[in-house]
Structure 1
Amino acid sequence: MPNLPPRITEFQARIAVGHREEAWHPGTIKAAFAEFISTVIFVFAGQGSGMAYAKLTNDGVTTAAGLIVAAVAHAFGLFVAVSVSANISGGHVNPAVTFGAFLGGHITFFRGLVYIIAQLLGSTVSCLLLRFCTGGLATGSFSLSGVSVWEGLVLEIVMTFGLVYTVYATALDPKNGSLGTIAPIAIGFIVGANILVGGAFSGASMNPAVSFGPALVSWSWSNHWVYWAGPLIGGGLAGIIYELFFISHTHEQLPTTDY
């Protein structure tokens, strides 16, 4: 078998499964609880904004005004959700981000699995709270509109790639320097921008947990696999590409005079 290039070998060495005991380690549980709370905050703001808009206007959120409302609510909500958990869990708030971080060696498999479970629970609890607080209003669920399943899948891949690539560049890159302080803002902004692009077509989930909670509470699973496959593929690609080309050996920070 031919020898693999050094960058590929280093990349493979970074991926860690971890130990089963890590799943119930106090540090993992504390971080997962932070992910749970942050996901509740994010989904409550994002999904709740759509419910409020539908109630006030008797219209869907796929109108131009509805997309702007959704984009702003999700951008602000994610900014806060990432900020409040960044120093505890890394502020993933998204299984696609966790998966991309795992492929880049920034989190072990077992710790990442606990994160994802916490994120799914957070989204579900948030939707149940929304339903209770609004007198039983439907939380709605993500669905494709005017595009085929494969077009929707590619759309979710591209949008999530942009999201996780932003996470890597601003939060995970060890040479991000002072750029790390604006990571939550940048992450919130890219999600808001992507909603303005893909909201009318796929709902612009970019996050399996955000799709899972509403689908479970509303029991609506139409094309739900798209909202898992797309974000996980996009997030995984972003993690692999950033690690291989911009972190492993080749990433050199420019002097400030070059900006």
Structure 2
Amino acid sequence: MPKISLGTSREAVQPDCIKALVVEFVTTFLFVFAGVGTSVAADEMGANTLVGLFVVAVAHALVVGAMTSAGRISGGHLNPAVTLGLLLGGHITVVRSILYCIDQLLASSAACILLKYLTGGLSIPIHSLKSGVGFLQGVLWEVILTFSLLFTVYAIVVDPKKGSIDGLGPMLIGFVVGANILAGGAFSGASMNPARSFGPAFVSWDWTDHWVYWVGPLIGGGLAGYIYEKFFIVKTYASLPHEDEAF
């Protein structure tokens, strides 16, 4: 199993960590603001189901690509499932991953609160399972979609042998997010991101099926990170060279 570094409490006050947390908050805020804002606009304009799904998919693809690139200081995670996948691959400490996840949830909540205000109190749509989709089906949808997202992140960003696609990572990650929304949006909502689901649920105070959007993405992201790191990346150096306690 890849080495998982615990880190230390001192990380929280180190300048590089503080800077990364600020960038992660800003990029996650802007990602959720654009993504949820598009969903609100589609509902308000009465777009039919297919058009609305396409618009939401395109908006998420564009903003994920842009914010992943803009968030290079923090790594542009935008997503607790991405953070967990990188943690299980040994690319981020436990301490920093916890800080990132809290940061992402706060940013998502702030974005949705502002959207609620700016839209004059319009309903903020939550992620929930569509009619006829059971809990197990919903979890499996989210596991598979998030697995594909994290596998892509590893293949085109993390893997040191990513080759000629170096630099195209953020755009390609956005493409995967958009494609996954087109595939699964009509069934599970294709969240792939607990933070993206948390903000709308918090502001609307509607937690229907919410646990699905934690269990599915975290399993999918964790599996992708572990499997890619274990079987596809050739280790020639330590991922976390500083002296941290590990298990």
TM bin, normalised by shorter chain, reads: over 0.9
Q: Which amino acid aligns with 2:87?
A: F
For 1:25 and 1:176, locate their aligned partners in 2 and report how far apart those are by CA, in whole Å: 31
Q: Quote the residue 2:180 is aligned against.
A: 194
After TM superposition, list the pairs within 5 Å mapping 1:10-89 onto structure 2: 11=2, 14-57=3-46, 63-86=49-72, 88-89=73-74
Deviation at 1:249, TM superposition (A): 5.4
Partner of residue 179, structure 1 = 165
| C-alpha displacement of 1:23 | 2.1
Identity %: 55
In 2, Cα distance between equivalents of 1:180 and 1:30: 25
Aligned length: 235
Residues 16-47 of structure 1, C-alpha deviation per residue, up to 9 Å, x if partnerless?
01111112322111101111111111111111
Q: Distance in 1 between matches of 2:123 and 2:166?
A: 38
Distance in 2 (CA, whole Å) between partners of 1:44 and 1:138 is: 14
1:95 paired to 2:84: no
1:107 corresponds in structure 2 to: 92
- 2: CA distance between counterparts of 1:79 and 1:37? 15
Q: 2: distance between equivalents of 1:42 and 1:211? A: 12
Letter of the aligned partner of 2:6 in structure 1? V
1:213 CA drift (Å): 0.3
Picking from 78, 101, 105, the partner of 1:116 is 101
Q: Which runs of 4+ in 1 moved over 3 A?
A: none
Deviation at 1:177, TM superposition (A): 3.5
Task: Tell me which amino acid in the other structure corresponds to 2:152.
Answer: T
Match of 1:4 in 2: none
How far is the alpha carbon of 1:218 from its aligned partner? 0.3
If the length of structure 1 is used for normalisation, what is the TM-score? 0.88
Take 1:108 and 1:177, find their aligned partners in 2: how far apart are those partners?
Answer: 26
Q: For 1:87-120, what per-residue CA distance to the aligned partner results, in whole angstroms no more than 9, with x for missing partners?
A: x011111100000000000000001111111111
| Matches for 1:103-252 after TM superposition, within 5 Å | 103-145=88-130, 146-248=132-234
1: distance between equivalents of 2:212 and 2:22?
Answer: 27
Separation in structure 1 between the aligned mates of residue 27 and residue 166 of structure 2, nearest angstrom: 19
- The 1:157–1:19 alpha-carbon spacing in structure 2 relative to 1, beyond 3 Å, is same
Helix, strand or coil for the counterpart of 2:177?
A: helix
1:142-193: CA deviations, max 9, x gaps? Answer: 1000200110000000000000111101111122234230110111000000
Looking at secondary structure, tell me which structure has more helix per residue. Answer: 1
TM-fit CA distance, 1:53 = 1.1
Structure 1 SS opposite 2:152: helix
Deviation at 1:199, TM superposition (A): 0.4
Q: TM-score when scaled to structure 2?
A: 0.92
Decide which structure has the larger Cα Rg and report it. 1
Cα RMSD of the aligned pairs, angstroms, is 1.3
Which segment drifts farther, 108-117 or 168-177? 168-177
